[in-house]
Amino acid sequence: MIDLHTHTLFSDGELLPSELVRRADIRGYSAIAITDHADASNIDFIVPRIVKVAGELNAAGGIKVIPGIELTHVPPSQIKGLIQEARRLGAKLVVVHGETPVEPVIPGTNRAAIESMADIIAHPGFIKEEDVVLAAKSGVYLEITARRGHNLTNGYVAKIAVKHGANMVLNSDSHAPSDLLDRDAARAVALGAGLEEDDIKRLEKNANDILQRVFKVNSK
């Protein structure tokens, strides 16, 4: 299992990074990304701390920890600059909080994130078809999410992503210990989104491709 979207006490999660990683390890994860919420007000505080703790946990061995960030409710005009800032500060994975139907995300967020080369668009909601086409061309990943509420549009996202050949990843968007997935739970989310066996295998490959890009290693 590789999970590329989780939260800790650095934003609205319940656990310290060390405990989140330990619980993920027990669940059988091979890698996890810590992607706490950020905007212009706190990005310079959160990213360096996630980078620091990820480095310490990776040095201790065990599962791989990817330092990341989730840009959340950022005005579309600011997304490119904050992606660049996050990477300058050391984030290895930049997720943008997409246009989920259960929050008032500013229209145009999905498009700005794709044009700005975010790594993943989290829960992109009823993403426009032309934006999916652009994501496919740009190599930006669309998320299939286990998160309650955000997952209402998983079926739509999966269908349109398959139609246009856009890459997908499946994440927990974990905020609490109970949110972490195992393989059976992840498979259930994928099947519930209407994905076929080949698509599910591709989800795993896509997550592993991101892991290899960050660490240049294979997952377990």
- Which amino acid, 209? D
Residues 30 and 177: their CA atoms lie apart, in Å, by: 17
The angle formed by the CA atoms of residues 220, 28 and 155, to the nearest 5 degrees, is 90
Sign of CA dihedral 189, 190, 192, 197: negative
Task: Average the pLDDT over 6-11 and give the result.
Answer: 98
Residues 13 and 20: their CA atoms lie apart, in Å, by: 9
Q: What is the pLDDT of residue 59?
A: 96
Contact 87, 68 (CB under 8 A): no
pLDDT tens-digit map of 161-208: 999 999 999 999 999 999 999 999 999 999 999 999 999 999 999 999
Domain chopping of the chain, boundaries: 2-215
Was domain 2-215 assigned CATH 3.40.50.2300? no
When pLDDT is cut at 50, 70 and 90, the band that residue 216 belongs to is confident
Angle between helices 154-164 and 183-192 (to 10 degrees): 80
pLDDT tens-digit map of 110-146: 999 999 999 999 999 999 999 999 999 999 999 999 9
Q: Centre a 10 Å sphere on the Cβ of residue 167 and count the other Cβ atoms it contains.
A: 19
* DSSP letters spanning 47-104: HHHHHHHHHHHHHT-SSEEEEEEEE-S--HHHHHHHHHHHHHTT-SEEEEE---TTTT
With 0-12 / 13-18 / 19 or more C-beta atoms within 10 angstroms meaning exposed / middle / buried, residue 197 is exposed
Q: What is the pLDDT of residue 43?
A: 98
